[in-house]
Chains A and B, each alone.
Chain A
Amino acid sequence: MAKSVIVYSTPTCPFCIRTKQFLKDSNIQFEDIDVSSDTEKAQVMIKKSGQMGVPVLDIDGTIIIGFDKEKIKETLGIS
């Protein structure tokens, strides 16, 4: 079954743009949460990741901070 992927991002951050582009290029479906327009979700992100920088990825409960391509690939099991 496909893993659930959530991306917490802001529209103005280049690494968020790159993260989402990478997921799209890898044909990975994801839910994009814009934390600049949703303060409650922003708090959820801070709680989950223990920090306040974007992007944050939640892949089936595994939290990845920043555009860490290798870790994203490894967690998703793609090459």
Chain B
Amino acid sequence: MIYDLIIIGAGPAGITAAVYAARKRLKLLVISKDIGGQAAWSGDIENYTGYQFITGPDLAAKFEEHMRNYKIAVREGEEAVDITRQDKAISVRTGKSSYEAYSVIIASGKVSRELGAKGEAEFKNRGLTYCATCDGPIFAGKDVAVIGGGNSALDAAIQMMKIAKHVYVVNITKQLGGDAVMRETVEKGKAVTVINNARVTEVFGDRMVKGIKIKREEREENLAVEGVFVEIGLIPNSKFAKIIEKNEFGEIKVNCHNETNVPGVFGAGDVTDVPEKQIIIAAGEGSKACLSAFRYLNENGLVSSDSTAY
């Protein structure tokens, strides 16, 4: 079976595109490793119109409820690994299967940036985590290292200061970045050591993490820690889209109609080079991308018979 539209990602952009597509009665498939995307990880949201206040998980649940209302086929827990186009059919390969459509919207958002250090993959979830908010409490009473120097790293350090035995903040630049208030809290912390100008070269242990190797001015030293929190920002989740043109940051290049360099493939939300990354902008871009995809299908006579006319 060939779908009219495949949407990769189910954050604010992907879900909004899905709702629009369902209302056009397109033959539709949503593929996503999770539902809600970064919105689900957000704390308090006070700038999404219609809600004076809502938490990230609650807004993500509202998005999902809206999508489920249309009985849309969703492959949750699947990740796109490649996308190719032959003739007018676009094929999306995931870790589990392969799907075909005449149009695709890439709304795969962002993922945590990895350290690129030896042992990183091996010790993921064995002491190394990309979500301090989630897994932090498990490391109460232990020595831990937070890697990074921006707001998310400071946030993790402040959270861990309260419960860990000692917190090392390993920062690659000369001094900590982020907001002054948070920075001061970290620098004044009793059980905190900030190590600037340092790069993590290895994560080591046996079954679980036992420590990290850091390099400062060509000198290598070991830090004995049981927890490693990687908080060095996010990067566009666009690696799988090899045929799609990207900018220097890895963001998918789109024009104001959300078109990419490949006909039939559209982009929306944080994975693209759209200025400003906001939930409401991602949602708006998702709707725009769907309408563009719908126009493309119609103009090329590719739309299945039961969808509404443009």
Contact = CB atoms under 8 A, between A and B. Distances in A.
26 contacts: A10-B136, A12-B133, A13-B133, A13-B135, A14-B36, A14-B41, A14-B57, A16-B134, A18-B34, A18-B36, A21-B61, A36-B136, A36-B137, A36-B138, A42-B138, A45-B138, A46-B208, A50-B126, A51-B126, A52-B125, A52-B127, A52-B208, A53-B129, A53-B134, A54-B138, A69-B76
A54 B61 CA distance: 19
B207 interface: yes
A7 interface: no
Interface of A: 10, 12-18, 21, 35-37, 39, 42, 45-46, 50-54, 65, 67-70
Contacts of B56: 14
Interface residues of B, number: 28
Contacts of A21: 61
Contact of A52 (B34, B61, B133, B138): B138
B212 interface: no
A4 B61 CA distance: 26
Taking each of A17, A68, A70, which has the highest tally of chain B beta carbons within 10 Å of its own beta carbon?
A17
B131 interface: yes
Contacts of A51: 125-126
B45 interface: no
B57 A10 contact: no
B125 A13 contact: no
A64 B56 CA distance: 25
Contacts of A53: 125, 129, 134-135
A7 to B, nearest CB: 14
Contacts of B40: 14, 18
Across the A-B interface, the 9 shortest Cβ-Cβ residue pairs: A36-B137, A13-B134, A53-B125, A14-B40, A51-B125, A12-B133, A10-B137, A17-B57, A42-B138
A39 B138 CA distance: 7
B35 A52 contact: no
B115 interface: no
B252 interface: no
Given A10-B135, A14-B60, A52 B141 contact: no
A17 B133 CA distance: 13
B178 interface: no
B263 interface: no
